[in-house]
Structure 1
């Protein structure tokens, strides 16, 4: 994977869905399976989408998006709005540890938050989220 142009982005929630990535970015990107040791994916309080929280012994599963441009990051920042900020995280791609960017929740997330599952979101919320993302992207 060539990371010379930009730092990859670790996605662990709705952006793991290919349709959602294309709706937000207007294209597909290079994609690699990865995980974030010491974290788990849970529901963002009062929302249908996820957040990461530190959890000893856990590992949040996701993807690395590579080859992102500054325009891609602008689109991703708009998608994530003001509930997250982009910050570094150490992830594993296979056996390789590397630094990536990810979207961290700005709200305090309770340690007992319920696990968030992509499949549940796809079944229950994806269609509405895609409509909203296409509306934002087309502006």
Structure 2
């Protein structure tokens, strides 16, 4: 099956914003972290779970695997090996991988926009030291 023939997979808003949160945390973008946390809180994600997701973890194993994949994509600049693919949720398809790649690229772009749009020296009051992936 080629990419062109791979059926599209839509990530949920919660999954997308969770990817944004993990990527923003890894890239140390306080502005993007604040935005993603606010969106996830609106979706009903608890503060404890927000902290876990900032570390690319989650009480939900499926979300945790997607977050680790997203941060791995940032770390490896888009290169996945077999071990990375084995960490995906059981039954994850190539379409799921492509959806996470796209969401990760969008999250990275949002970090760049958030950081470039803010006045120099301004930074939200948020503790970025929550541990690393």
TM-score norm. by structure 2 comes to 0.28
Higher helix share: 2
Structure richer in strand, relative to its length: 1
Q: Give the number of the structure with larger relative contact order, counting CA–CA contacts within 8 Å between residues 6 or more apart.
A: 2
TM (norm. structure 1) is 0.27
